[in-house]
């Protein structure tokens, strides 16, 4: 299906009717006239994706039953193959195969990426397919130092993407980010403790002599 605007993947007639009722359609119409949402990966989006170590994948069954699955891995495990294509290795898990089953009968999919530390979220609409028996593709997607067993690839074709505002996003930091913030503080504490130890040693060495001088006076 060809979309008049990239945002039409989300702004269906029913959505636009709600926008009309609530007074926001005029603003979004202007956005569409100015180019609207993007439908290909630029340098900024590629860098954002490369810094993520998790995302949420949305799929639905043929009758529309939605499903959201968390996907995690080493930073950058969601790979940019070209300006329209993302892909990632599907590792061995609990063998429910809900996402794979949904995609076999309904290719529509959605990726939701969160950056809590910087309060930034990106939404990506598109279609996805499960690719099996393609060792060359899987080799491009698997990081050699990540300990997990890849079983297949999931390839995602982008229809549109957009950046949400930071409103209501709580600021959270992962373990690595906290370590980066805390390490300079630890180093400073160690430096101050060493200075304090040195001062105490100097003070104790001069203490008896100062006491004798006071007694003599």
Residue 12 has pLDDT above 70, yes or no: yes
Tell me the helix, strand and coil percentages in the chain, rounded to 5.
Answer: 40, 30, 30
Cβ contact 140:79 at 8 Å: yes
Helices in the chain by DSSP H: which ranges? 13-22, 25-33, 43-50, 98-105, 135-141, 175-216
Cβ contact 9:125 at 8 Å: yes
Tell me how crowded residue 169 is: count the other CB atoms within 10 A of its CB: 15
Tokens for 211, please give them: 């006491």
d(CA 189, CA 70) in angstroms, rounded, equals 38
Site of tokens 């950046």: 163
Question: What's the pLDDT tens digit per position in 158-200?
Answer: 999 999 888 889 988 888 888 888 999 999 999 999 999 999 8
pLDDT value of residue 208: 52
CB-based burial label for 28 (10 Å; 0-12, 13-18, 19+): middle
Question: What's the pLDDT tens digit per position in 90-111?
Answer: 988 888 999 999 999 999 999 9
Cβ contact 76:142 at 8 Å: no
Closest CA to 111 of 8, 35, 9: 9
Any residues with CB less than 8 A from the CB of 128 and at least 6 apart, and which?
57, 59, 103, 107, 109, 154, 155, 156, 157
Cβ contact 85:158 at 8 Å: yes
Question: What's the pLDDT tens digit per position in 35-90?
Answer: 889 999 999 999 999 999 999 999 999 999 999 999 998 999 999 999 999 999 99
Domain boundaries, the chain: 1-36, 38-164, 173-217
Residue 211 has pLDDT above 70, yes or no: no
CATH topology of domain 38-164: Pnp Oxidase; Chain A (2.30.110)
pLDDT value of residue 214: 47
Question: What's the pLDDT tens digit per position in 128-138?
Answer: 999 998 999 99
Apex CA 38: angle with CA 113 and CA 152, to 5°?
Answer: 50
Cβ contact 81:153 at 8 Å: no
């Amino acid at each position: 299906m060809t979309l008049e605007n990239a945002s039409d993947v989300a702004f269906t007639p029913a959505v636009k009717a709600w926008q009309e009722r609530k007074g926001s359609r005029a603003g979004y119409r202007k956005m569409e006239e100015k180019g609207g949402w993007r439908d290909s990966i630029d340098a900024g989006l590629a860098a954002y994706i490369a810094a993520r170590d998790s995302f949420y994948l949305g799929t639905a069954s043929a009758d529309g039953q939605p499903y959201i699955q968390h996907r995690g891995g080493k930073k950058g495990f969601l790979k940019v193959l070209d300006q329209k294509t993302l892909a990632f290795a599907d590792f061995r898990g609990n063998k429910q195969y809900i996402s794979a089953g949904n995609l076999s009968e309904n290719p529509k999919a959605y990726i939701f990426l969160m950056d809590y530390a910087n309060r930034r979220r990106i939404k990506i609409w598109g279609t996805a397919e499960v690719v099996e028996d393609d060792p060359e593709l899987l080799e491009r997607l698997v990081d050699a130092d990540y300990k997990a067993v890849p079983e297949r690839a999931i390839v995602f074709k982008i229809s549109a993407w957009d950046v949400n505002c930071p409103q209501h996003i709580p600021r959270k930091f992962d373990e690595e980010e906290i370590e980066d913030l805390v390490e300079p503080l630890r180093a400073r504490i160690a430096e101050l403790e060493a200075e304090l130890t040195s001062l105490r040693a100097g003070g104790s060495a001069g203490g008896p002599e100062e006491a004798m001088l006071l007694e003599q006076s």
